[in-house]
Amino acid sequence: MSSPDSFKLDLPVRPRRLRRSAARRLMVEETRLRAADLIAPLFVVDGKPAPEEIASMPGQYRLNIADLVKECRALWKLGVKAVALFPKLDPKLKNAEGTEELNEDGLILRAVRAVKKAVPELVVITDVALDPYTSHGHDGVLNAAGDDVDNDRTVARLAAMAVRQARAGVDFVAPSDMMDGRVGAIRAALDAEGFSETAILAYSVKFNSAYYGPFRDAVGSAQAAGTKLLSKATYQLNPANRREAMIEAALDTAEGADILMVKPAGAYLDIIRDVRERSDLPLAAYQVSGEYAQIHAAARMGWLNLERTRDESLLAIKRAGAGLILTYFAKDVAKALAG
């Protein structure tokens, strides 16, 4: 037998040939991330004198409207083309019906108007759900028994909510509630009020996930409910169900969604791939607060490299089939891509 030093395989195909240098690797790179692929979720509050860091989401802040405008200008300059806005309300404004959402001069509507005035080309997306406004923390109004969300009454509220957001100048409304029929009702309401150009980014496949905890802290819905373990299992998808996810995506497509979305992203790459293979609509995925927080936590412990893990996680989401990614890493990644 020949010695290891002289041993030579007769291989016509050697994949490592394409990995021998950085230039070669870049030439054959199949998946690339651009700043324009990223959507930055941002949290807005009323009257805070300075940005307030969210303890469970390092590097993320609750911003007053003036600081929100500054952040949006900075993101636009870095090449991030879209933001998704989420309000953090004073608990005194919350009640079981979420009636502060009816306020025509409410926080999120003022925020939309300010951002669109300052950065008119920036795509502004707003959440259509009642959980930031309700004292119980659910995404809708409750039934007479108070033990579940009333689907149809909630949908009527969401459709009217979407119209108010469109009137404020939003580009996309994003129903995140998972009520049956809400995309169709929102599309009909928008069209009836003359907002046929306002688009719908639908949270089409949103799972009842354990990864949402830091977000609920950020908008105060966990505190409103008095627990971080509020169950939304009667309307959000069972994490065990893959086929049901395809039904939800198909329904939103039929009802007029312009973009579909899967949430969360990292634990549901198979679902992203399934939706991508079944739909020709643009597809987004939401790298949620828990995904962001766990990467930061592991990096702080010295167990993972923050930048490499961040970038790999986003590449995996895009490789699975998402063209757009909502991620709290948007600004840092855009800076890295620009640098």
Nearest CA to 139 among 173, 169, 101?
101
Residues paired with 324 in a beta bridge? 284
Active site residue 228: no
**Joined tokens for residue 263:** 């949430």
Between the alpha carbon of residue 220 and those of residues 21, 26, 63, the distances in Å are 49, 44, 14
Catalytic residue among 206, 232, 318, 331: 206
Cα of 2 vs its chain's centroid, Å: 58
Determine contact, residues 102/59, Cβ cutoff 8 Å: no
Continuous H helices in 47-203 = 65-77, 107-118, 151-168, 182-192
DSSP single-letter state for residue 238: P
- The Cα–Cα gap between 177 and 158 comes to 9
CA neighbor of 126 nearest in space, from 148, 141, 111, 147:
111
Q: Of 94, 116, 263, 318, which is the active-site residue?
A: 263
Q: Cα–Cα–Cα angle for 137, 213, 205, nearest 5°?
A: 80
* Token pair for 327: 């991620």
CA distance 178 to 206: 7
Give 319: exposed, middle or buried? Use CB within 10 Å, 0-12, 13-18, 19+: middle
The reply to whether 206 belongs to the active site is yes
Q: What is the rounded distance in angstroms from the CA atom of residue 201 to the CA atom of residue 323? A: 13
Find out whether 149 and 179 touch, Cβ atoms under 8 Å.
Answer: yes
Asked if omega into 264 is within 30° of 0 (cis), the reply is: yes
User: Which residues are tagged catalytic?
Assistant: 206, 263
